[in-house]
Amino acid sequence: MSADTFPPPSALRDLDRTADESSGNGQIAVREAQPDDVDSLALLAQELLAFYGLPARNQRSYMAHVMTAELFERESNLKILVSETMGTVSGFLAYTEVFAFASCQRSFFIQDLFVTRKARSSGVGAALMGELLRLADETNVAQIDWTADPWNEKAVAFYEKLGPLLKSDKILYRLAGPALRQSVLDQKR
């Protein structure tokens, strides 16, 4: 999404209205994640992996330990917004702030936006995205980028509600796990 295609204020109001109406009582709170949230975040991460059909390779307690170290004890560029519904963490939005080199502007990149199965269609995603849009406006971030899986029709429909979006025909590439290690070894030869 470029600065020219940032959602108009009406899209933000529609997101807020959807969050208020869908939650029944408007009790969705969005805030920055705190160290006390790591157990809930680890549970959400496991649910996210299950959503994508991926195994959780680590126990939740280990994930919480690593999240504490990486998010709160080291300097991390990853920021996490969490949503709470009736005192329970019901979703998160993980993002980074980057400097877009070619356009010379600050940008947010959304790594993940995830809402628990129970809380989907309740306005939690809208509340999380609305807070990120508010932060972008407050901090003069001119662009927000993210990816969505084409098969995830509900996510695509949710994002389409934001208004005119700049879509890309770019291909996402990822080196991970054994392929990453093999590429490193190949480069050393």
- 53 Cα distance to chain centroid: 18
Contacts of 55-61 with C-beta under 8 Å, sequence gap 24+, read none
pTM of the predicted structure, to 2 decimals: 0.79
Contacts (Cβ under 8 Å, ≥6 apart) of 74? none
According to the model, what pLDDT value does residue 185 have? 85
- CB distance 5 to 143 below 8 Å: no
Q: Which residue's entry shows tokens 């504490």?
A: 68
Token pair for 8: 């108009």
Task: Return d(Cα 110, Cα 157) in angstroms, integer.
Answer: 17
**H-type alpha helices, 52-152:** 60-67, 124-138
- 24 Cα distance to chain centroid: 24
Task: Return d(Cα 155, Cα 125) in angstroms, integer.
Answer: 9
> pLDDT tens digits, residue range 4-13?
334 444 454 4
According to the model, what pLDDT value does residue 158 have? 85
Task: Return d(Cα 178, Cα 54) in angstroms, integer.
Answer: 16
> pLDDT tens digits, residue range 46-65?
999 999 888 888 899 999 99
pLDDT at 19 exceeding the cut of 70 = no
> pLDDT tens digits, residue range 166-183?
777 777 777 778 888 888
More confident residue, 97 or 122: 97
According to the model, what pLDDT value does residue 26 have? 54
- Domains of the chain are 3-188 (3.40.630.30)
Q: Give percent of the chain above pLDDT 70.
A: 86
What average pLDDT does this structure show over 24-50? 89
- CB distance 22 to 120 below 8 Å: no
